[in-house]
Amino acid sequence: MIGHPSLNNITEFRPNFVTHLECGLTGQRFERGIVHGLSDAGKPLLVKYDLENLGRSLTREMLKERPADLWRYREFLPVVDSANVVSLSETMTPIVPAPKLGQNVWVKDEGRLPTGSFKARGLCMAVSMAKELGIKRIAMPTNGNAGAALAAYASNAGIEAFVFCPEDTPEVNVREIALQGARVWRVNGLIHDCGRIVREGVGPMGWFDLSTLKEPYRIEGKKTMGLELAEQLGWRMPDVIFYPTGGGTGLIGMWKAFAELAELGWIGSRMPKMIAVQASGCAPIVRAFEQGVEFADEWKDAHTIASGIRVPVAVGDFLILRAVRESGGCAMTVDDEAIQLAQIEAARREGILLCPEGAATLAAYWKAIANGSIGADEEAILFNCASGLKYPMPPAEDRIDMNAPVDWIGLRG
């Protein structure tokens, strides 16, 4: 029988290089190996590694021998015992050239991952750590893809999952969550209202709150996007990264990856400009960026077709803003019309079916080119965070009636 490709080669992950965890704001230290939520300041925890020792036991050369999935970076990951790995084979995702969308445009296509979105990266790590730490019941608010990934990994691990989503979450997401064995409820509110239900249920339901950034390990899973990107580019950085930003896990995770790689000396000190893309109907991070403040206020009346980035409050706001500013990047909005247009153009010109959030990065790229904030020669990576197949598509209604002759002229028109 063929098992998990990484695990065929490796029986144990030990030694593990996690030293401790640290509050992203105050630096407060937390012990490894026990369950954590937020810090005393109510802020996300970041996992810290002994990079010096890591660098002594792992080289870039050694990675070449390993299977093409995210567990190839296990020394950079928190799971201690390989027996606790919960995996559905998280493949490395391709960087697809898209020259018809822009001279130097590349799409990192995360839609190829299990459950059809990059949420698989975060949730395979969070659920593996939950297993390692003995957690038996998990709850989570979701705009769709995170819940789907949780459902899949929790079922695989034999952990109970409770999921709460806004009632207008794409139908396919709600149904895949249910089909994959989680309990799922539609809530007549937005994602932070669902988050409140999860928070308030911790006592009565005894579940672990796996909300975005309220546990430390989803960032580590998403961090593999940055490790993978660096390795795929031959241990150099692109000029600019466009990231559709909701809770910001991926942007924070990639920035953490780049910092760790730079500290190891695996990449140089030149960093990519990180561009946080939000929808004009829900842009708390962009507003805070423009106001020059450290934290983002709640965005009222949030709306956009890009449901994955409809996040009015992000607990990691300061970490997103810090990464964007340190990188010399920016935060920018695109409206739903531009998102739809970008989705159509990518599909027609390149045959690449972007999800709305991925399309938002293309719309932002074009906007940034038009207003001169980046040059056409700059190498730009766009994140297509989910398969376009998971979303409603524009209708296609042409039909042929077999009771009448085929109208060939009509077919051409």
Ligand X SMILES: *Cc1c(COP(=O)(O)O)cnc(C)c1O
- In the complex, which residue's CB is closest to ligand X? 308
Of 407, 411, 353, the C-alpha closest to 385 is 353
Among 114, 116, 238, 246, binds ligand X (CB under 6 A): 246
Are the C-beta atoms of residues 303 and 353 closer than 8 Å to each other? no
Number of residues that bind ligand X (CB under 6 A): 18
CB of 398 to ligand X, least distance (A): 29
Asked whether position 385 contacts ligand X by CB under 6 A, the answer is yes
CB of 376 to ligand X, least distance (A): 26
Asked whether position 24 contacts ligand X by CB under 6 A, the answer is no
CB of 131 to ligand X, least distance (A): 22
Q: Restricting to residues 321-360, name those near ligand X by CB under 6 A.
A: 355, 357
Nearer to ligand X, 225 or 374 (CB): 225
Asked whether position 244 contacts ligand X by CB under 6 A, the answer is yes
Nearer to ligand X, 54 or 346 (CB): 346
Asked whether position 315 contacts ligand X by CB under 6 A, the answer is no
Among 6, 180, 212, 224, binds ligand X (CB under 6 A): 212
Asked whether position 308 contacts ligand X by CB under 6 A, the answer is yes
Where does this chain touch ligand X (CB under 6 A) — which range of 90-98, 247-255, 262-270, 367-375? 247-255
Nearer to ligand X, 54 or 161 (CB): 161
Where does this chain touch ligand X (CB under 6 A) — which range of 179-187, 188-196, 242-250, 326-334? 242-250
Asked whether position 169 contacts ligand X by CB under 6 A, the answer is no
Among 24, 195, 250, 272, binds ligand X (CB under 6 A): 250
Among 39, 82, 115, 117, binds ligand X (CB under 6 A): 117
Among 82, 104, 180, 249, binds ligand X (CB under 6 A): 249
| Inter-CA distances, 162 with 44, 114, 125, 130, 184, Å | 22, 20, 18, 14, 6
Where does this chain touch ligand X (CB under 6 A) — which range of 96-104, 199-207, 246-254, 374-382? 246-254
Nearer to ligand X, 238 or 250 (CB): 250
Positions touching ligand X (CB under 6 A) are 117, 119, 145-146, 212, 244-250, 308-309, 355, 357, 385-386
